[in-house]
């Protein structure tokens, strides 16, 4: 049995701790990417702790890398800065996450209101905006008003927002980003 404690739990802003049999497969893949980038930088967990001024404790970073803890979008951004890599490099590519891992989201899409996203402020909005701009460049889709994201994109956005994969759509709706036709 694995006990997952999110950063929100640790800070006391959530009242419950999620107890589950296995960690979220996407969180495990993110952890694999975190470990891979750290090793490419030839840094130990203790090196990262020292370089971050103890912002990233070795034990906590190890838990992120093992997929035992989900990382908030703010911490993901700060870790990307520390590693001097784009945030997107810390997230697994679509082909690293098998569709069968989240069958309920297979074929799920959501149209994002990009005009509303530009109105939002804060680090979460900035990271989501940067990620979606990357999708636009990849697809060469520059209409600027809306962007349809696919299930794999929603999983990445869920990680950025620090929510479970199946909660990404409702979280984006709460932020007012669901485009209404």
What are the tens digits of pLDDT across the range 14-25?
A: 333 333 446 678
Is residue 112 helix, strand or coil?
strand
CATH 1.10.10.1930, the chain: domain bounds: 99-174
CATH code for the structural domain at 99-174: 1.10.10.1930
pTM: 0.46
Token reading at 50:
């020292």
The model's pLDDT over 129-157, given as tens digits with 9 standing for 90+, comes to 888 888 888 887 777 788 888 888 888 88
Maximum separation of any 2 CA atoms in the chain, in Å: 50
CATH number of 2-90: 1.10.260.40
**Cα torsion 14, 114, 135, 173: sign:** positive
């Amino acid at each position: 049995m694995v006990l997952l404690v999110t950063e929100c739990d640790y800070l006391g802003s959530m009242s419950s701790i999620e107890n589950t049999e296995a960690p979220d497969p996407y969180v495990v893949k993110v952890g694999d990417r975190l470990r891979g980038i750290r090793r490419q930088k030839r840094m130990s967990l203790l090196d990262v702790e020292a370089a971050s001024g103890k912002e990233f404790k070795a034990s906590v970073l190890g838990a992120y890398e093992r997929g035992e803890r989900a990382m908030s979008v703010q911490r993901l951004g700060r870790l990307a800065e520390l590693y001097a890599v784009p945030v997107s490099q810390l997230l697994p590519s679509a082909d690293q996450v098998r569709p069968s891992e989240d069958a309920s989201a297979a074929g799920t899409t959501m149209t994002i209101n990009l005009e509303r996203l530009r109105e939002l402020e804060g680090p979460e909005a900035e990271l989501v905006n940067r990620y979606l701009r990357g999708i636009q460049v990849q697809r060469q889709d520059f209409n600027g008003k809306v962007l349809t994201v696919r299930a794999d994109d929603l999983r990445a956005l869920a990680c950025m927002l620090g929510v479970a994969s199946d909660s990404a759509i409702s979280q984006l709706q709460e932020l007012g980003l669901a485009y209404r036709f």
